[in-house]
Chain A
Amino acid sequence: MGTINEEVKDDEPIKDEPGWLPGWWMGIFYFTIAFSLFFPVYYHLMQGWSQENQYMEQVKTGPKVEETAVTLKADGSNPFRGDSAAVSEGQKLFMMTCAACHKPDGTGMIGPNLMDGEWLHGNTDSVIYNLVLTGIPQEKLKQKKSPIGGPSSPMPPKGGAPISDTKVLKILAWLSQKNTTLLAGK
């Protein structure tokens, strides 16, 4: 390394002009301070805002879905079979609650493939419906290995999702349309 001959110049002090404070800049500063004093009084004390209240309000005024509870027909078959509105809703619900384990196309990932002709616990509406409602605990697992390899895992009731029994039937209606080896009845 060569010697640095810049040293003496290099530690020349930096000059600070006194300068001034731009008015618009100080204006923003004062405004945000004033706003911050006013806002909590208005928002929390006068309006009574809280995230809990906001949530309750949204629940009260948000869209409501009237759903008539439906269950299996007397012969054990799914009443939504062939109901196109229910089927398309069922597909959405599948994406939301089942796809994470069964893959969006239903061909299996952690949970088994639902699109082939092989049914581990039975292939009727009634059997599958009750299976989804109760879930499959470890001791009742029939799947040896998950489709992507690795150990198979138990299935929580309704996949752990807070959906109604009626919605389970809509999902199964979609499944029965995609996979015709799922049969109506007991």
Chain B
Amino acid sequence: MNDKIEYDNQIVRMFVICILLWGVVAMLMGIIVAFQMIFPSWNFHPWLSFGRLRPIHTNGIIFGFTGSAIFATIYYSVPRLLKTPLWSSSMARVHFWLYNLTIVLAALSLMAGYTQSKEYAELEWPIDILVVVWWLLLAINFFMTMKNRTEKHIYVAVWFFVATIITVAVLYLVNNLAIPVGLTKSYSIYSGVVDANIHWWYGHNAVAFFLTTPLLAMMYYYLPKHTRLPIFSHRISIVHFWSLIFIYIWAGPHHLLYSPTPNWLQTVGMLFSLMLIAPSWGGMLNGFLTLTQAKEKIKTDATLKFILVSLTFYGMSTLEGPIMAIREVNSLSHFTDWTIAHVHAGGLGWVHGICAAAVYYLVPRLWNTNLHSEKLAETHFWVSTVGILLYVVSMWVSGVAEGLMWRAVDASGSLQYPSWVEIVNELFPYRLVRALGGVLFLSGFVIMVVNIIKTTKTAGSGFNPVDLREGSKA
């Protein structure tokens, strides 16, 4: 009955190219700021200074790199899962171009120094409005496609995309409400503690609904598709989906422990973070238990390796996060490099792992050819994994050392390390290793880009998927 469904592959190809492009740009920004941390003289020009490049790195990774991967997956998987063509291909194209315009304007305006000074929401109001416009285009297209579905069963990946699209819209609109005083300047309508609380409600849920739920959707799509194995437990899916989206939204105040935020609200943030451990682990468990059905193939398949390591980092970060949200731990870890270690375990490990799996899954199918080199994909995996470990371990050590040095007092009760510069000097070697880990990681990513470019050179030569089921011939 659905032999003749026309799927729009062109829009997916366009977004896949964006994954690679914005990935390289945003990771390069990360490496530049990592070196500026240890060699301050590398701040050559105000436009290229640390304070301006850092938000380009964070926005570029979250909205440029990860966003492209999310949109590519939505436009590829949702019509297929619901067995209906995309509702509007032209609307998806308008989304694509407005989205890329946003990324370019974001980079230029941040370099020029225009910012709302809210972390992960730095973009000024005209760009915010642009984001809302294309997010609505995506939402309309998504829900109309869902309305037209011919497949009655709505698969778990689609639930996670629904949660993403609705919640990000609410978060983004509420947090960015501001009164403009010109094209490039505005004032938030909130002030003081309310502003901080709204901001971290948004900030934490950017992690939840832009870097977790859509990535879980991707895991739930690519893992069973790639292995042709069933998802281990539908029950886990149900329990962890509803508990995850319900609990995540309350955890924001854990960014404001020991601050003027009311004590009870801090405790709410801390406790909802602890209650997040099991819901987060549900996704990891379902992934791991599905993977165990194909464990022999992990040895030979780089895509599965990425998913395995990705799930491992996801499980680790979602345990580390709640621990860091405990007041006593947070008083040591807050503002230190430990936080940087935490986000990069999640970012480099979990987000990039799933996105890399997405690219390796999609490109051969979209360009109808086989991957240029499985060996290069394997190299990408090992190089980036070593890069992640260097990065995360050095930042853990640096963060704990930093926190301990800040709080160390001598017998008279005065600070043992009163000079900030002294502490910065002490952390130099760890931060150097971090920067080198970053270089290694980007090298891995470039290997993937080269592999993909070579793959597209043989487009149309026919794609033969590898059967990864246990006992099948490879």
Which A residues lie at the B interface, using CB under 8 A?
1-8, 10-11, 13-22, 25-26, 28-29, 32-33, 35-36, 39-40, 43-44, 49-51, 62-65, 92-93, 95-96, 99-100, 104
Contact = CB atoms under 8 A, between A and B. Distances in A.
B459 A25 contact: no
Interface of B: 2-3, 5, 7, 9, 13, 79-81, 83, 151, 153, 155-157, 220-221, 224-225, 230-237, 239, 243, 258, 263-264, 266-267, 271-272, 274-275, 277-279, 281-282, 285-286, 289, 365-369, 409, 411-415, 418-422, 459-463, 465
Contacts of B151: 13
B367 A1 contact: yes
A1 B368 contact: yes
Contacts of A20: 233, 235
A25 B236 CA distance: 10
A138 to B, nearest CB: 26
B415 A96 contact: yes
Given A14-B155, A17-B230, A21-B235, 13 more contacts: A1-B368, A3-B368, A7-B5, A8-B3, A15-B231, A22-B236, A25-B285, A29-B278, A32-B278, A35-B274, A65-B413, A95-B419, A104-B421
A43 B151 CA distance: 51
A1 B235 CA distance: 41
A2 B230 contact: no
A29 B153 contact: no
A17 B233 contact: yes
Contacts of A25: 236, 278, 281-282, 285
Given A25-B278, A25-B285, A44 B267 contact: yes
A22 B285 contact: yes
Nearest to B464: A6
Interface centre among A6, A14, A33, A62 (most CB of B within 10 A): A14
B234 A104 contact: no
B232 A96 contact: no
A63 B409 contact: yes
A13 B275 contact: no
Contact of B277 (A8, A28, A49, A96): A28
Contacts of A5: 368, 462
A9 B255 CA distance: 46
Nearest to B261: A51
Contact of A16 (B237, B281, B421): B237
Interface centre among A10, A51, A96 (most CB of B within 10 A): A51
B418 A96 contact: yes
B243 A14 contact: no
B159 to A, nearest CB: 12
Closest 9 CB pairs of A and B: A19-B233, A2-B460, A96-B418, A29-B278, A63-B413, A15-B230, A95-B419, A36-B271, A11-B80
A63 B83 CA distance: 70
A29 B279 CA distance: 7
A8 B279 CA distance: 35
A21 B286 CA distance: 10
A16 B367 contact: no
A63 B281 contact: no
Contacts of B157: 14
B248 to A, nearest CB: 14
A48 to B, nearest CB: 10
A19 B462 contact: no
Nearest to B9: A4
Nearest to B157: A14
Contacts of A96: 414-415, 418-419
